[in-house]
A = this chain, B = another copy of it.
């Protein structure tokens, strides 16, 4: 695909996030939005390579304790409708297949919005005895939502192309609770490797996953000050087990319902990497997920580029042998055009080698995250590149963490009805997350959401929990996070 006609102007990100995001997806060749169905998009080769690296990390983490499986896309209407709470949460969002060829189907088939109702009837036949537990599986699949709101690539989709959903069954509630902790640990590791900062909260009861006992969520903060849910973990308890009759024979011969959990991550994880780290030059990819970690650019002005090209090829070989994802850009373009392209694509490290560098047996490292330049001796290039990538990985993380935590505003309000504080909160919530005291009644929750034009994320699951008075009703309350959410 030609990049010739692209403008090379910088892309303002601050105060212009939405436009920046669309433009980056296009210029960095992540997704093509010109597909003639609302809310579905085409993954470009480069975007797909990024997706591959992100999901390879996720798979490796999941494979430790889960087995990968694959369930069908199509769910018969009667199965989908079995769990009353569950279907209430989804029924207006389900795509229905009603015809095969010119024949009307006997039973309409849903495109899975999520797979509980596809998987749990099969759990019923897989699980017989306590020896079958715990059962821990996951799959990475396309799921579908008939979104009527504004759709947005990778973020709000009609086809979620890469939903990782895990489903587990346990003998006891304590085991299921333990699995929730394991899931949190896995998701922490995953987002840490993506350098994506997060807060973890327990969603309010009225906002939990339909059919769950409770829902924990990972949210990150997007550059426009809105939070985005990037992972959820649900303790299902026995509700689905009762609906789908999933029982095991215990050691004493009695039949017991299993206790279940499920947890999911969608391609919003890719959206967060793009959105949070990128700058006005394009993507900034953490080395862990960058399809290319290092690009080597020969600086050749005369026809006598032989030596420089040879040195570049040698460096390339050395980096590859050291297990690094390197690319040698020896195309005909000017170095400046190459810089532009690889900066746009977020390659963490650029190595430039010109005749003068060669005379000093050295090369130049240019970091994508801060554009710092350093001279590096050629004999140490692989070792230095590894160190540089590690440093870039942690600097990107540090910067992202600082940005998020600087935008959490902790309300000092000690009681309800302080109008001055509400004014501050209304302002602060436009820029980030506010933390305030709220009781757990739905009524106060809805009042606050309306008053701030924001959503309650929930109570943070870690950190010191202080008690205070509800900002709406003055009753005993705990801290919750509130933000405008995607």
Contacts and interface: CB of A to CB of B under 8 A. Distances in A.
Contacts of A128: 2
A45 B69 contact: yes
A41 B72 contact: yes
A128 B125 CA distance: 54
A411 interface: no
A145 to B, nearest CB: 9
Given A2-B131, A122-B34, A101 B109 contact: no
A344 to B, nearest CB: 18
Interface residues of A, number: 60
8 closest Cβ pairs, A-B complex: A100-B146, A45-B67, A92-B101, A43-B70, A40-B72, A96-B99, A98-B98, A95-B97
B35 A72 contact: yes
A98 B118 CA distance: 21
A335 interface: no
B121 A36 contact: yes
Contacts of A68: 45, 48-49, 52
Nearest to A127: B1
Interface centre among A44, A73, A79, A91, by most chain B C-beta atoms within 10 angstroms, is: A73
Contacts of A118: 35
A473 interface: no
| Of A2, A100, A118, most B-chain CB atoms within 10 Å | A100
Interface string A357-401: 000000000000000000000000000000000000000000000
A142 interface: yes
Copies of this chain, count: 2
A91 B51 CA distance: 33
A93 interface: yes
Contact of A42 (B72, B75, B98, B129): B72
A102 interface: yes
A137 interface: yes
B70 A122 contact: no
A313 interface: no
22 contacts: A2-B132, A35-B121, A36-B76, A37-B74, A40-B72, A40-B74, A42-B70, A43-B69, A43-B71, A70-B161, A72-B159, A74-B159, A91-B101, A91-B102, A92-B101, A93-B101, A94-B101, A95-B100, A96-B97, A96-B98, A98-B98, A100-B146
What secondary structure prevails in chain A residues at the interface with B? mixed
A457 interface: no
Contact of A95 (B69, B92, B99, B158): B99
Contact of A146 (B52, B101, B121): B101
A6 to B, nearest CB: 13
B45 A137 contact: yes
A405 interface: no
Contacts of A48: 67-70
A98 B99 contact: yes
Contacts of A36: 76, 79, 121
Contact of A109 (B37, B67, B137): B37
Nearest to A121: B36
A126 interface: yes
A120 to B, nearest CB: 12
A66 to B, nearest CB: 9
Contacts of A213: none
A73 B122 contact: no
A415 interface: no
Interface in A77-103: 79, 91-103
Contacts of A142: 73, 142
